[in-house]
Structure 1
Amino acid sequence: MLQTAMRFSHTLLKEIIQTGDTVVDATMGNGNDTALLAQLVGTNGLVYAFDIQEQALQNTENRLLESGVREQVRLLHQGHETIETAIPEETALRAAIFNLGYLPKSDKQIITKPDTTKQALDALLTRLVSNGRIILVVYYGHAGGEAELALIKEYSQQLPQEEYSVLTYQFINQKNNPPILFCIEKK
């Protein structure tokens, strides 16, 4: 059976993340990806998790405590556009994940934006190790979502193929704008 974009994003992360790695959850949301990343990097690894909403931090904190993986996570109550200053430049990152759109069951007016997502991607690419991956799951069925999807497509297509491989994964026969997954892998 084909995997949903979310499940496939987890498969792509599990393939490369090792104990002791440093990774990023650029949009912590309800903490599902953050908890997975924390389990994968283990107690010797580090997860930087970003979100601008207090509710996301609370939900993620609870999820991490329930899962027993709170100690290896730095919860940052700030947008992913601050990655450049929040994560030391010399930090080698194995992976990052974004869920672009809005926090489920919250204010749908608070959405990720193309310009801040681009800033985050620029900062992540300079820190990404060889064979590292940046996963973007783009939910675009809301006001502003199409603009962000267009940015991600254009950004990904312009990456030099000598340095990066980019995959897209989507269901093309489903209604209601199913999410599209992008995976950028550094060669």
Structure 2
Amino acid sequence: MLERVLPYAKSLAKDIVQPGDIVVDATCGNGHDTAFLAELTGPRGRVLSFDIQSQALENAKKRCHLLENIEFIPDSHANAEKYLEKGSIIKAAMFNLGYLPKGDKTVTTEYQSTISAIKKLFTRLDAGGRIIIVVYHGHPEGKIEKEALTEFLTRWPQKEAQILEYRFINQQNDAPYILCIEKSRK
């Protein structure tokens, strides 16, 4: 069976993240990816988990209360580089675009900060590392973000990265899909 979108996004991270790695959850939300990444990296690893909404961070902290290798950061993912130590390399970053499930649907990710974050995180990404993006485009801002991301990523130099799009084309209601940027090994 083909993997559904969210499990496949996790498998893209699981394939490459090792204990001790540094990873980023660019959109903390309710903490599902944060907890998943913290388990992959283990106690010697580090997870930087970003969200601009205090409710999201509180929800994630409750979910992850037993995990000690997480730094919850009340800031935009566009500022992630400020929280990485000089010279540190990340193995993966995960984004779930859109709005906080069961939260304020007027607060959404926006293409400007998402693209800025992708550019900055890519410079810190290890060779073979991945930026995994689940695109939710069933709302007005999501459609704008989807179009901007598609335009931006289709122009990415092939020598620098391979970019995957994983989607089911026969689903209704603007089903989410994955974009994955894998940094080339030089």
Please indicate the TM-score interval, normalised by the length of the shorter structure: over 0.9
Matches within 5 A, 1:90-109: 90-109=87-106
Structure 2: how far apart are the matches of 1:147 and 1:20?
Answer: 36
Q: Percent identity?
A: 45
TM-score for the superposition, normalised by structure 2 = 0.96
Post-superposition offset of 1:89: 4.1
Secondary structure of the residue that 1:144 maps to in structure 2? helix
Matches within 5 A, 1:34-113: 34-65=34-65, 68-69=66-67, 71-113=68-110
Are 2:165 and 1:177 aligned? no
1:32-63 Cα distance to aligned partner (Å, 9 max, x none): 00000000000000000000111111111011
Q: Which 4+ runs in 1 deviate beyond 6 A?
A: none
**Counterpart for residue 28 of structure 2:** 28
**Counterpart for residue 16 of structure 2:** 16
Structure 2: how far apart are the matches of 1:148 and 1:128?
Answer: 23
Post-superposition offset of 1:86: 2.3
Structure 2: how far apart are the matches of 1:145 and 1:13?
Answer: 23
CA-based RMSD of the aligned residues comes to: 0.9
Post-superposition offset of 1:157: 1.1
Secondary structure of the residue that 1:107 maps to in structure 2? coil
Q: How many residues align?
A: 184
Report the AA paired with residue 38 of structure 1. A
**Counterpart for residue 149 of structure 2:** 152
Conservation of the 8 A alpha-carbon contact between 1:102 and 1:110: yes
Conservation of the 8 A alpha-carbon contact between 1:89 and 1:127: no
Post-superposition offset of 1:9: 0.3
Post-superposition offset of 1:88: 2.9
**Counterpart for residue 162 of structure 1:** 159
Report the AA paired with residue 84 of structure 2. I
Structure 1: runs of 5 or more not aligned = none
Q: Pick which of 4-13 and 82-91 moved more.
A: 82-91
Structure 2: how far apart are the matches of 1:157 and 1:87?
Answer: 28
Q: Pick which of 82-91 and 153-162 moved more.
A: 82-91
Structure 2: how far apart are the matches of 1:137 and 1:77?
Answer: 21
TM-score for the superposition, normalised by structure 1 = 0.96
- TM-aligned CA distance change 1:89 to 1:138, over 3 Å: farther
